[in-house]
Amino acid sequence: MSSILIKDLVKRHGAQVTVDHVSLEIGQGEFIAFLGPSGCGKTTTLRMIAGLTEASAGSIHFDGRDVTRLPPYLRNVGLVFQGYALFPHISVAENVAFGLQMRNVGREEARRRVDEALSLVKLAHLAGRLPKELSGGQQQRVALARAIVYKPEVLLLDEPLSALDAKLRTEVRSELRRLQSALGLTTIFVTHDQDEALSVADRIVVMSAGRVEQVGTPREIYQRPATRFVAEFIGLTNLFPGGLDGHGRFRCEDGECFAVTTTDAPSNASVLAIRPEQVRLVRGVPAPDGESAVEATVEDVVYRGALTEFVVRTASGVKLAAHLQNADFGRDELRPGDRVVASWPADASMLF
Amino acid sequence: MSALAITGEGSLTGGRPAPGGTDRRRRSSTAGWLLFPSLTLVLAGLILPLALMARTSVAHFDAASPDLVGFTLENYARFFGEPFYLTILARTLLVALSCTAICLVLGVPAAFVISRVESRTLKTALILATIIPLLMGNAVRAAGWMVLLADKGLINSALLSAGLITEPVRILYTGSAVVIGLIAVLLPFMIISLQSVFEGIGDAYEEAAQTMGAPPWTAFFRVTLPLAMPGIFSGCLLCFVLAMNAYATPVLIGGPSFQMMAPKVFEQAIKVYNWPFAATIALVLMAVTLALSVASSLALQKRYGAL
């Protein structure tokens, strides 16, 4: 269990740069998610931390110890592969014992620790089976037991849940979180699924095209995205191209004008973003002070139980998504064609 | 929305099995008929001659008449009774086993390296280089070896002119020459079959082993090699069978002083006209090869499961 320091990490494949000067500090016992679309360099970064891919430049330190040039077998990391890579020719127990054998742990001690690791993932009763005799979820837990049994300094998870079905994924996800905090393992979790990252990680590293876009807690990433990419990639976002007019207002390209809070906005902002759940739809009542508001017509209504998803179109033809909680069952129903005022708090709008 | 999509798909696949089932049944009955021509061919081209050969091997040899007469085990008695022939069998076995062993030792690293080369072009080039020896005929290749290995051949003249030896070393017409010649033919088979096996296993297991603390060599011997065992066995079997039955190479490179089974069959049938004894030698060769193959595959099956 160590802290990790990554400094200006670069990976080049010929002329192509897949990881571009990634720097990152990860605290001891922290649960970090690398989040990004496929090809953003998150798996390559993980492989460089594991030592499976050689870094073209930059450095990686575990607890102050430079491991950049160390081969994987000298790094003491635990890695759960996307396809698990369980050894098919040996039993579950032997799979888990492998890392201990490589560390010359005595037979008795090894057996005890294999039992312990398998009980931790609730698979002690399947120790004698071959991996192929297990279900996908069970294989996933064997892979996890195999990676943590020798107490690695860092636990690396490469899309570990992608091969599981949706229900199992949620289950394994919380199991993973529970184990991680119980063992205090410094963990890096690579995923392209924002739900997974948001629900499981202490901090999220959003990556795009080999670069780190933003590092922050799930709340920061969602509520205060640092870049337009992050705002668009995490959650749904309404985007309005345009510019600030210098009087605390944002003028959209199509002529609409919204009041915004400009304290920490860049003066050359070209896009205004607003989350659909911030948007309120009211019939015929002018918006209260301090709100941005625009008149619109309801175009589409999708009832989702807990919330209703609306698409409205403003007078100038811009589409706007609004998600309304259905907490108030008595509220009168909006239908396509209804005239409404769409409004949101001025400080809820994000400028990039 | 996603729930809708799933039911839609489910009903689609749900509707399929019935027609699919009848389809498959119809196809399998057609398949039976499709087997007929090849079955006939196998029957006429393999089983019948084999039966005829078995019959010939128990016939009495009469130099004056080519007819098959009598039922006797005298040919088998002669083969197993004369040390001369038993020595030939032992020699053939020794050559085949050493060729297989050497091909294995040389083939595994080569095949592994080829399977892990990342560049497609380089991989294709290496595979082509591997099979080039197979592109020329057996006799041509053997002639090449003769030029190289003869008493006045390239190797000896080079050694002589370098002053390393004072008189030519006997290489041609020895067991080593035959083994060398056979390996040149058999190694490509070994490498090609192993290369595809290693390729199929992929490097994920090795990477997993390495992250768990196994140096590359350990990862290879503990994980990749056991997984490749069935493929390694088929490669060895291929080499062994081909070496047991080799003809051109032993004849040309082994010469009259280094006799093996297949050339002996030819000699008895074509030169001596003793067809019954030729058939006996051929059947003994076949039986020994088959017995060893089956025995080793059974032993391996016990160790590594179904092959």
Q: Which residues of A touch B204 (CB under 8 A)?
A: 81, 83, 85
The answer to whether the CB atoms of B226 and A103 lie below 8 A apart is no
B80 shares a domain with B34: no
Q: Which of A155-169, A322-336, B151-165, B264-278 has the lowest mean pLDDT?
A: A322-336
Domains: count for chain B: 2
Nearest Cα of chain B lies from the Cα of A338 at a distance, in angstroms, of 25
**Confidence (pTM):** 0.79
Distance from CA of A74 to the nearest CA of B (A): 6
Query: By percentage, how much of chain B surpasses pLDDT 90?
Result: 53
- What is the pLDDT, as a whole number, of residue B11? 37
Residue range of the domain that includes B273: 75-202+230-304
Over range A295-300, report the average pLDDT.
88
Q: Collect all residues of chain B within an 8 Å Cβ-Cβ radius of residue A117.
A: none
Instruction: Tell me the shortest Cα–Cα distance from A265 to chain B, in angstroms.
Output: 37
Candidates B212, B218, B220, B307: best to mutate against A (most CBs of A within 10 A) is: B212
**Chain B residues within an 8 Å CB radius of A76:** 213
Nearest by CB to A89, from B210, B214, B226: name it.
B226
Whether residues B192 and B109 fall in one domain: yes
At residue B1, the pLDDT reads 35
Contact between chains at A102 and B212 (C-beta distance less than 8 A): yes
Q: Measured between alpha carbons, how far apart are the two ends of chain B, in Å?
A: 46
Choose which CATH entry (1.10.10.10, 2.40.50.100, 3.50.50.60, 3.65.10.10) describes domain A236-345. Answer: 2.40.50.100
**Is B1 in the same domain as B84?**
no
Q: Is the predicted pLDDT of residue B5 greater than 60, yes or no?
A: no
The answer to whether residues B118 and B265 belong to one domain is: yes
Give domain limits for chain A. Answer: 4-230, 236-345
As a whole-number percent, the residues of chain A with pLDDT over 90 amount to: 49
Structure ipTM: 0.83
CA–CA separation, A31 and A18 (whole Å): 24
> Regarding predicted confidence, which is higher, B95 or B136?
B95
Q: What is the mean pLDDT of residues B67-73?
A: 84
B213·A51 Cβ contact <8 A: no
Q: Range with the lowest mean pLDDT among B40-49, B66-75, B120-129?
A: B66-75
Per the domain annotation, does B277 fall within a domain? Answer: yes
Per-residue model confidence as pLDDT tens digits over A217-268: 999 999 889 888 999 898 888 888 888 877 777 888 777 777 777 666 677 7
As a whole number, the mean pLDDT across chain A is: 88
Same domain as B83, residue B31: no
Whether residue B155 sits in one domain with residue B17: no
pLDDT of residue B22 exceeding 50, the answer is: no
**Range with lowest mean pLDDT among A26-30, A76-80, A268-272, B65-69:** B65-69
pLDDT at residue A181 above 80? yes
In a shared domain, residues B170 and B238: yes
Three-state secondary structure of chain A:
CCCEEEEEEEEEECCEEEEEEEEEEECCCCEEEEECCCCCCHHHHHHHHHCCCCCCEEEEEECCEECCCCCHHHCCEEEECCCCCCCCCCCHHHHHHHHHHHCCCCHHHHHHHHHHHHHHCCCHHHCCCCHHHCCHHHHHHHHHHHHHCCCCCEEEEECCCCCCCHHHHHHHHHHHHHHHHHHCCCEEEEECCHHHHHHHCCEEEEEECCEEEEEECHHHHHHCCCCHHHHHHCCCCEEEEEEECCCCEEEECCCCEEECCCCCCCCCCCEEEECHHHCEEECCCCCCCCEEEEEEEEEEEEECCCEEEEEEEECCCCEEEEEEECCCCCCCCCCCCCEEEEEEEHHHCEEC
Closest chain A CA to residue B208? A85
Choosing among 3.40.50.300, 1.10.287.10, 3.40.50.1000, 1.10.10.350, the CATH entry for A4-230 is 3.40.50.300
Q: What are A42-91's pLDDT values in tens digits? A: 999 999 999 999 999 999 999 999 999 999 999 999 999 988 999 999 99
Is B150 in the same domain as B295? yes
